[in-house]
Amino acid sequence: MLDFSILFPSLLNGLTTGAVYALVALGLTLIYGVLHIINFAHGASLMLALYGVYILNTRLGWDPYLALPLMVAGMFALGYALQRVVINRASHGKDENILLVTLGLAIVMENLALLAFSADTRSIDTPYTLRTVEIPTPFGAGPAMIALPKIIAFGGALAVAALLLWIVKRTDLGRAIRAVAKEKQGAKLMGIDVEHVYAMSFGIGLACLGAAACFLLPAYYVNPQVGSGFVLVAFTIVVLGGMGSFSGALLGGLLIGVVESIGGLLLGDSLGQVGIYLIFIAVLLLRPQGLFGDRA
Amino acid sequence: MKDAAAIALFVLAVGAAALAFDSGVALNFIMMALYATLLAQAWNMLGGYGGQFSFGHALFFGSGAYVQAMAQLHGGIHAWAALGMAVGAAAAVGALVGALAFRYGLKGSYFALITLAFAEVFRILALSVPFTGAGVGLMLPLRAAASNLQFDSPRGYALLLLGMVTLALAVTAWLRHSRFGAQLQAVRDNEDAARALGIDPLRTKLSACVLSAAFMGAAGAIYLQMFQYIDPAIAFGPTTSVEALLGAIVGGMGTLWGPVLGALALHVLSDLTRNLFGALPGINMVIYGLVLVVIVTFMPRGIAGIGRSVRSLWQGGRRG
């Protein structure tokens, strides 16, 4: 059996990585989980947001956390416009067309980034990038060291999940989103502007990525390909958490982070990832409503 | 039969072109266009006629390529026999994944995601186990001879691929006209109604999946023979899955000639943008992506859909 003093830091690391996964997946929960738009440009959109934070930091000297309001607003506007102007028109109401359009958008975004920033991997330098926090290990082993930005990201994921839950459950917009998700025609007859609701949802979904990018970059890096690693993980978490459940996505993200971290510890870094997808396949086959979802 | 005549004409025209041209550029173009056609047509069998959208067709492609490589390198097996094994292995993987997915009733985006997840699992396994060469990949020694399934000019590969594409077209034509094809399309259009008519949806979809996977495996094996190299990212990464589904959907799903048109159009487009804007990295793919969005916006039924719209307009005009 593994020593607890190795297992515990690995568990904490998994939880903080999982919080970042959860942040990325929360936006997709609204887009895919509620409205069933298969957004293949989700990873590429995250990549754009990361470059946004990068530019604000290196050119204007903004702290990534202070850039949060601007990034959220900017990504919301991008998402609203993309859904309203491009995706909605191109989809003709067919799933395979949405898939193709978002795929095309992802290709455009990734290669625009390649053109503008080259393929180099970049990261930013902040006073707290290398700062760590000691977390005491239970049962008397030495304390675990966790990077401060990762702990902040953990808090950020909780806050974003709570905010999304509040928007969907308590606001008029949230009621409209749920109505459109359940019964599009009926919602239209009730006077809901369906296209506007779709665009708002897409905008909020990308706004989450804006927030995720601000929490992510201090402890991470950016290159034009960085988003592709997040796409399947994000879809995994949305399904795992139960389609459209924000608390489920949060728990699912944390679970995936822990599985990856412990899997990496037991099987080595490359093979450790396999656990994520095996869990995903098992959930798809045996519990498609998700681990935390209600039976549909 | 009209389809048989059209396929024969296609083989004669492409075959004549492959034999007539001597320039490496032209032969390379024919070879790669046929390769893209094979991928698109293989995807079309399950995606177009079966209505099951796979995002992970690289799973079957990579299985074929790796079995082709391992059979020759580790087993010392004859290249043509290895091709048979590669096709068989890809079909077996198709049967396994299809049986799991369809047995548990996955459809729509769930089916798409599970194929993608399986492709990722295979990619990570290929990266981790020793007999696939891990991250380094497997390299095939170059010994150009038809008996060895290797040729010193693209012409040989073009003719080999033409044979495969012809077979794929024949199978697709059979899907259009046969009893099995009618059952498959019935399941695609309304599974409950098809079941009520006594069709077994599980068996029908599974057969289409195996068929589609077998052709994908053949494409993987031929890819290995063309480039003599395979690694986990090429074999199981998303590029091949995307290429296969784009060709079929852009051309027109569930049609005989759509995937041919789509693969050709996309191949011409990417060649053109690369040659025109090759100096700036990325700009060719930006244009490729934009054109893709435009095609989907204005041709929702693919390129083959235009022909159908024009024909119905013409017939409607005559009737009116």
Mean pLDDT of A216-237: 87
Distance CA B6, CA B1 (A): 9
**Residue B20 to chain A, least CA–CA distance (Å):** 36
Could you say which of B238, B283, B293 has the minimum Cβ distance to residue A101? B293
- Is position A197 within any domain? yes
pLDDT tens track for A160-190: 888 988 998 899 999 998 888 888 888 889 8
Please judge whether A273 and B250 are an interchain contact, meaning their C-beta atoms are less than 8 angstroms apart.
no
Nearest-Å Rg of the Cα atoms of chain B is: 20
Name, in order, each residue with C-beta under 8 angstroms of B38's C-beta and a sequence gap of 6 or more: B161, B164, B165, B168, B215, B218, B219, B222
Name, in order, each residue with C-beta under 8 angstroms of B76's C-beta and a sequence gap of 6 or more: none
| Residue A195 near residue A35, CB atoms below 8 Å | no
Q: Which residue of A has its CA nearest to B293?
A: A101
Provide the 10 A C-beta neighbour count for residue B138. 23
Please judge whether B124 and A273 are an interchain contact, meaning their C-beta atoms are less than 8 angstroms apart.
yes
- Is position A151 within any domain? yes
Counting other chains too, the contacts that A58-65 makes at CB distance below 8 Å and 24 or more residues apart are A58/A124, A63/A126, A64/A124, A64/A126, A64/A214, A64/A215, A64/A217, A64/A218, A65/A152, A65/A214, A65/A215
Asked which of A104-113, A270-279, A284-293 is least confident by mean pLDDT, the reply is A284-293
Q: Report helix, strand or coil for B207.
A: helix
Q: Is pLDDT at A1 greater than 60 in this prediction?
A: no
Name, in order, each residue with C-beta under 8 angstroms of B234's C-beta and a sequence gap of 6 or more: B62, B65, B137, B240
Q: What is the DSSP letter of B249?
A: H
Length of chain A: 296
Q: What is the pLDDT of residue A293?
A: 62
Instruction: Show residues of chain B in contact with A107, CB under 8 Å.
Output: 285-286, 288-289, 292
Provide the 10 A C-beta neighbour count for residue A252. 29
In SS3 terms, B138-176 reads as EECCCCCEHHHCECCCHHHHHHHHHHHHHHHHHHHHHHH
* Pairing of β B229-230 and β B138-139: antiparallel
DSSP A157-176: HHHHHHHHHHHHHHSHHHHH
Instruction: Show residues of chain A in contact with B118, CB under 8 Å.
Output: 277, 281
A122: which strand partners? Answer: A222
Least Cα distance to A252 among A111, A150, A114, A157 occurs for: A157
Q: What is the pLDDT of residue A140?
A: 63
- Is position A133 within any domain? no
| Chain B contact residues (CB < 8 Å to A) | 53, 100-101, 104, 106, 108-110, 112-114, 116-118, 120-121, 124-125, 127-128, 135, 238, 242, 246, 249-250, 253, 280-286, 288-290, 292-293, 296-297, 300
Instruction: Show residues of chain A in contact with B135, CB under 8 Å.
Output: 270
DSSP A190-205: TT--HHHHHHHHHHHH
Q: What is the DSSP letter of A245?
A: -
> Cα dist. B243→B80, B211, B267, B299 in Å?
26, 18, 10, 18
Asked which of A60-74, A122-136, B256-270 is least confident by mean pLDDT, the reply is A122-136
- Is position A154 within any domain? yes
Q: What is the pLDDT of residue A141?
A: 65
Distance CA A179, CA A188 (A): 9
**Residue B240 to chain A, least CA–CA distance (Å):** 14
Distance CA A177, CA B309 (A): 36
- Cα A207–A51–A68 angle (5° rounding)? 40
List phi, psi (to 5°) of A52: -60, -50
Please judge whether B100 and A285 are an interchain contact, meaning their C-beta atoms are less than 8 angstroms apart.
yes
Element (H, E) at B291: helix B283-298
Distance CA A155, CA A138 (A): 22
Number of structural domains found in chain A:
1
Name, in order, each residue with C-beta under 8 angstroms of B320's C-beta and a sequence gap of 6 or more: none
| Residue A147 near residue A12, CB atoms below 8 Å | no
Mean pLDDT of A211-227: 88
- Is position A111 within any domain? yes
Q: Is pLDDT at A295 greater than 50 in this prediction?
A: no
| Residue B235 near residue B65, CB atoms below 8 Å | yes
Distance CA A105, CA A84 (A): 14
Distance CA A191, CA B230 (A): 56
**Residue A131 to chain B, least CA–CA distance (Å):** 33
pLDDT tens, chain B, 320 aa long: 788 899 999 989 988 888 888 888 889 999 999 999 999 999 999 998 998 989 899 999 999 999 999 998 888 888 899 999 999 999 999 999 999 999 988 888 888 889 999 999 999 999 888 788 787 888 888 887 777 888 888 888 999 999 999 999 999 999 999 999 999 999 999 889 999 998 999 999 999 999 999 999 999 999 999 998 999 989 998 889 988 988 898 888 888 998 999 999 988 988 888 888 777 777 878 888 888 888 888 887 778 777 777 777 666 655 44
- Is position A16 within any domain? no
- Is position A44 within any domain? yes
Per-residue buried b or exposed e for B259-273, using 16+ beta carbons within 10 Å of the residue's own CB: bbbbbbbbbebbbeb
**pTM of the predicted model as reported, rounded to 2 decimal places:** 0.87
A110 lies in which domain range? 23-125+145-226
Name, in order, each residue with C-beta under 8 angstroms of A179's C-beta and a sequence gap of 6 or more: A186, A187, A190, A192
Per-residue pLDDT band at A243 (split at 50, 70, 90): confident
Q: Which residue of A has its CA nearest to B125?
A: A271
The helix/strand count (H/E) of chain A reads as: 13, 2
Could you say which of B106, B118, B296 has the minimum Cβ distance to residue A104? B296
Write out the two tokens for B134: 């891990």
- Asked whether the CA dihedral B223, B227, B229, B234 is positive or negative, the reply is negative
Q: Report helix, strand or coil for B229.
A: strand
Q: Is pLDDT at A136 greater than 80 in this prediction?
A: no
pLDDT tens track for A79-94: 999 999 888 888 777 7
pLDDT tens track for A12-40: 888 888 888 888 998 898 888 777 888 88
Q: What is the pLDDT of residue A121?
A: 87
Could you say which of B116, B128, B297 has the minimum Cβ distance to residue A232? B116
Q: State the greatest distance between any 2 C-alpha atoms of chain A, in Å, as a whole number.
A: 63
Domain boundaries, chain B: 2-238
Name which residue leads in pLDDT, B64 or A246.
Answer: B64
Q: Is B4 exposed, middle or buried (0-12, 13-18, 19+ CB in 10 A)?
A: exposed
Distance CA A202, CA A194 (A): 12
Instruction: Show residues of chain A in contact with B289, CB under 8 Å.
Output: 104-108, 111
Please judge whether A108 and B289 are an interchain contact, meaning their C-beta atoms are less than 8 angstroms apart.
yes
A145: which strand partners? Answer: A134
